[in-house]
Structure 1
Amino acid sequence: MPVYARLSRNLTLGLKRMEYVEAAQALGLSWYRIVVHYILRNAVGPIIVQSTLTAGTVILAAASLSFLGLGVQPPMLNGVQ
């Protein structure tokens, strides 16, 4: 979670200073509309990329633990494996 929080914060601070956000403020748009239409839409892409990269790491960690015998165990059927 800290990775996503840091990424979201940095994206928001960077996008807040963009010219199109300043233009939207000059037009008198509400903060809700600016956040949804300008900041959130442009921040979703990098967050999706980060989650895709993290998924690969999670799969590799699960495979490594399974190789060591510490992964998910097969279910017991009627008390017999």
Structure 2
Amino acid sequence: MFKLFLVMVLLFGNLVMPFIVWEHKKYFIIGSVIACAIFLHWALSLFILAYFGFCYGMLKIKKINNLVSRIKEVFTGFRKEYKKGGELK
């Protein structure tokens, strides 16, 4: 959250600064590069977190589906044995 705040401050400063003091072009360019780098780092880290979160969620869903299918197999196996008249193990 601090990175987002810093990006907003730098972008606002870079938009307002040239109109106030035009002589300091190098500070404008340096500030723009820093703001872009921070914003790209923030966006990339969010993308990576979302990707790994998605993969982790899909892995959990797959494990839950496997567990549910095993439980269904157990109960359907009991029903088949019961319908045949066999003994339950």
The structure that has the greater radius of gyration is 2
When normalised by structure 1's length, the TM-score is 0.46
